[in-house]
Structure 1
Amino acid sequence: MSEEGNHFWHGSVLLVTKPGSKRPSLELKSLGAWDGRTRVSSSQWQVVDGLMLYSDPDKTFWRFTLRVPLVEAEAKWQYTIPNMKFLTDVNKSPSREFVVPASTDSMRIMFHSCNGFSVGTDEAFWSGPVLWNDVVRTHQQRPFHVMIGGGDQIYNDSIRVSGPLQEWTAITSPGKRKDYPFGEDLRNRCDKWYYENYRKWYSAEPFATANGQIPQINIWDDHDIIDGFGSYTDHFMRCPVFRGIGGVAFKYYCLFQHHTAPPVSTFTTDAPTTMEAGVGGTAGADPRQLKDTYVYNRTADDPSWIVGKRPGPYVEERSRSLYMRLGRRIAFCGIDARTERTRKQVNYPDTYDMIFNRLHNEFKAARGEIKHLILLLGVPIAYPRLAWLENILTSPIIAPIRLLNRRFGFAGGFFNSFDGGVDLLDDLDDHYTARHHKAERRELVVRLQRLAAEFSIRVTILGGDVHLSAIGRFYSTPADNMDALEDPRYMANIISSAITNKPPPKAVANLLARRNKIHHLRDGNTDETLLNMFDKQPGGQMKGADWNHCTMPSRNYACITEILEEQTNNGTHHPQPTNGVNGSVTVNTTGKPGKSRPRSDIDGRTPLHVGEEGAGTEHPAANGLSNQGPLPGGLNVAIRVEIDNHDPEGKTEGYGMSSKFLLAVTNKSLFPAVKKCVWQFIRNLG
């Protein structure tokens, strides 16, 4: 949304054509209110010229920048690219439709992650990306205004199996593989491969249909580059091939997922101008890469971006985090947790400073209108620990097995194809709960809580990556005796993945559920656990143990809808009364009225407030459509879980809970000052 009284929606459409095509134009018109009954007054017709972002001898990328007025009702818009023939789309029509919220409403959100298959997965067994059929059905019943991609929107891992890195991957010596050059010829072949993989995936149904109707916001993760990128050992991550594919993947991430221009050139080992990164990214242009090529010269022209101050250590470009308004009362921030990532660091300390400065300034300017912050992280942050597994995989007992693997190929599936390390370890190192990231994680959580307290904003965190669904929560320790609705430490972590990739085995989900113990953040005042969300198995099909109510190993996606408040004639919103006396919450132990227990007795796995009561299939939020619920002004959250992976329709079962906006916080001294020594510790690690 814009600064102009928050009455405009901003978005873009991307078109890829053959080179040499005439500059295309887009026709945009209002179709009136989405319900077909409410009268809507708005401009009826716009013509938008395409802006060329990039062109080479094989393809041209065009961006159409849209600016749509928000009016008194939810409105449907149609965009048409005339005289254009779509070769691969099932929908051959030149027109598509999308829906924007009313000027007084917040956006309805769909969240997904892990939209692809890992190498070696039997895609036919999993019926392909069929959950997008369910997304489209839900969208037709009540439109999503935005879909948020939490990372791995595309899987590029097969570049090492059937693509130009096949020969490099086959080198048995990690040392030789580390020194392998990434010259212009290999870069060019990788460039063509990444483009073709994006083109095929973004044309694949039913993902293509959803992508053409629901505007997207994305943050990337490792599979958007290659599996584990950023989390292997530092000396190996700095090898020419990893630096090279990091640059190529960033190029197409910018174009396809952000509709913005890529860097002028990317790294190769045979172009001195690209060998070193400057402050702005790749230091110079390579004339060979620019031959018969046009690149729009404003690579970071999106005002929603929070651009890092210096390039990442392996992707030699500056990070792109995001801030934007999702309608009237919801703000969104997505942290780019991949560009700056190393095994011991997720983001630079000064990147966090930039993000929190932006949030502080935006919230201050909003003068209390923003009630919710949706924070997107690539991986969960409130999640069970597997420190014991980390300790085993890094212990000396692994060394003899690694030696046998190098000499005889013993336990080949246990070690990765890149640096010879334990394959599972890069996934564990990705997690905020990994031992390398503990200090950084703690500081991020505390800064979010302080921000919530200062501006009375409820923070809700989105995270994917782990291929199962769950709801984690941070909250004040029982000793603080705080009502959860007034608790600035209360933050729900909605964990939703994968929408396409296969889930982990039942045993993994059950193991994580057994590790669902109350964890104490090292601020002395914050606890965390997973909520018992899954009251029954989806469609009666056993996905995990019958006692496991907190982790669900089945493909899924999430819906987030603002709960309606009472509205007065002058347009102001007033929250409806909550359960209990004077806004306090009665937490039921048995689901029966009057059976409650004091806040100090809550174990963290059962409901902390009325919005968590009855979490599961019977909750009002479970259908993914409802804007009614027990906490007016809060958020309804539904996780839609696949019932049968052999069903081509991708039907789901819904599980719901609600989160309340944060009531005014008066005791801001609850939070300790942010300690610079922690950031210095992280700098020393990096």
Structure 2
Amino acid sequence: MTTAFADPAFGPVLYFRRHEADRLHLAALVGRPASAGTPDPLLASGGEIAPKPLGQVDGFQLWRFDFALGADDRGYRFEGREYPVITDLSSDMRIAFVSCNGEENGDLDRDAPERNAMWDRLAAEHAEQPFALMLQGGDQIYADEVTQGHDLTEDWPDYAPDTATQAQLDDLRAYLRRRFTERYLMVLSAEAYARIAAQVPSLSVWDDHDICDGWGSLADDLANSAVGQTLFDVAREMYLLFQHAATEADIPDLFTDPHGTSLGWVRYLPDLTLIGPDLRSERTRRRIMGPAGWQAFDALEPRAGQTIMVSSVPLLGPRLSLIERLLQVIPKMQHYEDDLRDQWQSRAHRAEWRRMQRAVLRLREAGPLTVVSGEIHVATRAEMLPRESLIHQLVASGISHRAPPKAYGRALGMLAYLGEAPLKEHPIRNLFLPGQKQRYISQRNYLTLDRKAGRWQAVWNLEESGRTPPLALSE
């Protein structure tokens, strides 16, 4: 079976590299049929930038442009079009945060206007008040169906063969590369997404659906099998290509672990630090981060100014371990255990959860720190006290995944009443969104973070309720 790319051209898509000496360093990714030849140069800051070939999948070629814009530049030009970009990051600025861009089943067949309704809203908001950066908090694609249609993975993740020849694995690798590319092309070429992505550089972390549902919480024999490792390797290659415009050679320049075992990152902007730990690459049923990820995270130094950390699964939340115990005694409910095992609050990760909270408190010593997360398909927020070391947790999920039933949000809200305090001196409070009367809002949503006159605030845009009043984040 082969996958046909109906409209393979996409781009440019911008990626944030770094900001230094008042210059914004970017990469722009474009994809074209290999038969189309080399794209024209990109024009930026008075010069021509030649494209670099990144990789090819089944006759489809990816190209990257590396360039920088000064604070006085207004953007770049490509293929006869002007693309404005916010280049002055030293004063007021706006950041968009999104997550969960898809669904587990039938995502390729969804009605585009319905699927991308919140992207249309985000694009309209960008047209009114431009964003300087877009943070993507995981599940940028839903790859759960890419394994279907191949003999080795037709029954994944319920079953994987114990043995497979190298020829079979090579065929699986080629098949998965085509199927992942199909997903990424659908996302990157969607009209509203493309409008934003060409003007707003992004930074991404990945979550399980960027690989497969529950990756890292599956049984060890599945994840460590030859089939499982082939799936992971292809997902990782595609994550680097499409979410970072990168290959293995770029890893030391882009990620905190130069060997790429963990794909966490940190970026420094004026009075702002962005941190994105990798919560998937080293994950198992007994840990969330591995030695490489922890070594890189523990090496981070507290910095003055606002810190925003992207945790693909919420760092602060209710006592989910109670639900885990309940599921163990309810027939036919054990298959939900993997979903709960994915969370920091799982009883399997409690010691590591405390370790991460202590590590975040250390980073909080130099200035305000806010954690943003996706994953759970609702909007919510929490705080970790006391006030003098307050940490905000803001959850925005998902941008295109349809919301769960309202009863789901109410049930989580009831659980949150119990409170939680993995660190006794730092209790967690789950709170209402501004202007809302429930703690968990079952509506599609995205989040905006605004710095005005040096002070930060957050606003959720909810599909049914609209924008919330701003929540102050700065001290």
TM (normalized to structure 1)? 0.62
Equivalent residue, structure 1, for 2:362: 450
Equivalent residue, structure 1, for 2:467: 653
Letter paired with 1:448 = V
Check whether the contact 2:272–2:307 (CA below 8 A) recurs between aligned residues: yes
Structure 1 residues 635-668: Cα deviation after superposition (integer angstroms, max 9, x where no partner): 1100000018xxxxxxx3334211124xxxxxxx
Q: Find the residue that maps to 2:34 and give its secondary structure.
A: coil
Check whether the contact 2:153–2:160 (CA below 8 A) recurs between aligned residues: no
Task: Find the aligned partners of 1:171 and 1:306 in 2 and give their Cα distance.
Answer: 32
Check whether the contact 2:433–2:439 (CA below 8 A) recurs between aligned residues: yes
Letter paired with 1:48 = I
Task: Find the aligned partners of 2:328 and 2:113 in 1 and give their Cα distance.
Answer: 33
* Structure 2 residue 327 is the aligned partner of structure 1 residue 393: yes
If asked which structure has higher relative contact order (CA below 8 Å, sep 6+), I would say 2
User: How is 1:167-566 mapped onto 2 (pairs within 5 angstroms)?
Assistant: 168-170=153-155, 177=161, 179=163, 183-262=169-248, 298-301=249-252, 303-307=253-257, 318-325=261-268, 327-360=269-302, 363=303, 370-395=304-329, 398=331, 401=332, 422-453=334-365, 455=366, 457-476=367-386, 484=387, 487-488=388-389, 490-517=390-417, 519-536=419-436, 548-564=437-453
Task: Find the aligned partners of 2:301 and 2:292 in 1 and give their Cα distance.
Answer: 14
* Structure 2 residue 11 is the aligned partner of structure 1 residue 13: no
The structure with more strand, counted as a fraction of residues: 2
- What is the CA-CA distance between 1:118 and the residue it aligns to? 2.0
Task: Find the aligned partners of 2:53 and 2:201 in 1 and give their Cα distance.
Answer: 20
TM (normalized to structure 2)? 0.89
Check whether the contact 2:445–2:461 (CA below 8 A) recurs between aligned residues: yes
Structure 1 residues 415-444: Cα deviation after superposition (integer angstroms, max 9, x where no partner): xxxxxxx33221111110011111111111
Query: CA 1:517–1:171 in 2, change beyond 3 Å: closer, same or farther?
Result: closer
Check whether the contact 2:457–2:470 (CA below 8 A) recurs between aligned residues: yes
User: Given the alignment, which residue of 614, 632, 636 partners 2:457?
Assistant: 636
Structure 1 residues 286-339: Cα deviation after superposition (integer angstroms, max 9, x where no partner): xxxxxxxxxxxx2425x3411265xxxxxxx622111112x4211101011111
- What is the CA-CA distance between 1:520 and the residue it aligns to? 4.7
Check whether the contact 1:474–1:492 (CA below 8 A) recurs between aligned residues: yes
Task: Find the aligned partners of 2:251 and 2:75 in 1 and give their Cα distance.
Answer: 27
Task: Find the aligned partners of 1:56 and 1:513 in 2 and give their Cα distance.
Answer: 45
User: How is 1:11-90 mapped onto 2 (pairs within 5 angstroms)?
Assistant: 11-19=26-34, 22-29=37-44, 43=45, 45-55=46-56, 58-71=59-72, 76-81=74-79
Task: Find the aligned partners of 1:2 and 1:463 in 2 and give their Cα distance.
Answer: 21
Q: Find the residue that maps to 1:185 and give its secondary structure.
A: helix
Letter paired with 1:307 = D
Letter paired with 1:423 = H
Letter paired with 1:389 = I
Q: Find the residue that maps to 2:262 and give its secondary structure.
A: strand
CA RMSD of aligned residues (A): 2.6
Structure 2 segments unaligned to the other structure (5+ residues): 1-15
- What is the CA-CA distance between 1:126 and the residue it aligns to? 8.4
User: Given the alignment, which residue of 101, 108, 113 partners 1:115?
Assistant: 101
Tell me which structure has the larger Cα radius of gyration. Answer: 1
- What is the CA-CA distance between 1:49 and the residue it aligns to? 0.9
Task: Find the aligned partners of 2:287 and 2:152 in 1 and give their Cα distance.
Answer: 31
Q: Find the residue that maps to 1:391 and give its secondary structure.
A: helix
Between the two proteins, what is the percent identity of the paired residues? 23
Task: Find the aligned partners of 1:144 and 1:171 in 2 and give their Cα distance.
Answer: 40
Task: Find the aligned partners of 1:18 and 1:189 in 2 and give their Cα distance.
Answer: 18
Structure 1 residues 238-286: Cα deviation after superposition (integer angstroms, max 9, x where no partner): 1222211111111111111101125xxxxxxxxxxxxxxxxxxxxxxxx
Query: Which aligned segments of 4 or more residues in structure 1 are displaced greater than 6 angstroms?
Result: 1-4
Check whether the contact 1:151–1:221 (CA below 8 A) recurs between aligned residues: yes
- What is the CA-CA distance between 1:197 and the residue it aligns to? 2.0
- What is the CA-CA distance between 1:236 and the residue it aligns to? 2.1
Task: Find the aligned partners of 1:423 and 1:125 in 2 and give their Cα distance.
Answer: 31
Check whether the contact 2:279–2:289 (CA below 8 A) recurs between aligned residues: yes
Check whether the contact 1:460–1:491 (CA below 8 A) recurs between aligned residues: yes
Structure 1 residues 446-484: Cα deviation after superposition (integer angstroms, max 9, x where no partner): 12212222x2x11100110000001111111xxxxxxx3
Structure 1 residues 119-168: Cα deviation after superposition (integer angstroms, max 9, x where no partner): 157944981111011111110111001111000111111224xx434774
Task: Find the aligned partners of 1:58 and 1:194 in 2 and give their Cα distance.
Answer: 14
Structure 1 residues 80-116: Cα deviation after superposition (integer angstroms, max 9, x where no partner): 13xxxxxxxxxxxx42513224253254100000001
Check whether the contact 1:335–1:377 (CA below 8 A) recurs between aligned residues: yes
